[in-house]
Amino acid sequence: MLFIFLTVLKRDVLLSWRQGSAGFMVVAFFIIVTSLFPFAVGPDKVALAKISAGIIWVAALLSCLLSLDRIFHADYEDGSLDQYLLAPCPLEVIIFAKSLAHWVTANLPLIIIAPALGITLNLPTHAYGMLIFSMMIGTPALSFIGALGAALTVTLKRGGVLLSLLILPLYVPVLIFGVLCVEAAIAGTQVSSHMMLLAGVSLFSVALAPWAAAAAIRVGLE
């Protein structure tokens, strides 16, 4: 089981890096969306600092949406998804590996780039650590919840819009608690309560999303 998990994880990560275009599109979209806000809001550094955390989190959320459909779509087209059902390990383990691979290839680059974009938004320097930490804790929920949406729409030919409509409401708690963590760090108030709620959302998603996604794939392939 562990060998299959590591094999699927390595395969998806290598395929994403070799293709390059999908990962580059996510990063480019994140940079473009974040960079547009200073032009829209204006040069007021105080106003930018107030909304900087929200801008970065919203941009990360929207960027993640761009890559969700590729979690299972290619495997469905080439028949690999049917083979996963016949694998000598639970389908939930394979979905966990594919969701983790999506986080590594789609969300981890955003976490690395986020501090540099925080400079353009006048994010206070003492909040950079909390921004990175909150994104490390919160973004796994984006990948695992996204995997559930991708599983529900994998058999649809044009499921991209439906996928966004299904997933965006589920992303709201991650967005709220992620922004509150950074804003609390900026204001110098207690962060632990927001961080615990954010971690709870991520743990809940990581624990339940693979099971729900596996059930959705089994129903969709019947």
Say what the pLDDT of residue 25 is.
86
Instruction: Determine if residue 189 is left, alpha or beta; phi over 0 gives left, psi from -120 to 50 gives alpha, anything else beta.
Output: beta
- Confidence class for position 142, pLDDT limits 50, 70, 90: very high
Q: How many residues does the chain have?
A: 222
Residue pLDDT, tens place only, 175-190: 999 999 999 999 888 9
Average pLDDT, the chain: 88
Return the DSSP state at 126: G
Name the pTM for this structure: 0.90
Residue pLDDT, tens place only, 198-219: 999 999 999 999 999 999 888 8
CA distance 58 to 40: 15
Give the whole-number percent of the chain exceeding pLDDT 90: 47
| Contact indicator for 53, 135 with CB cutoff of 8 Å | no
CA distance 152 to 146: 10
Structure tokens at 117: 């974009």
- Confidence class for position 21, pLDDT limits 50, 70, 90: low
| Contact indicator for 173, 109 with CB cutoff of 8 Å | no
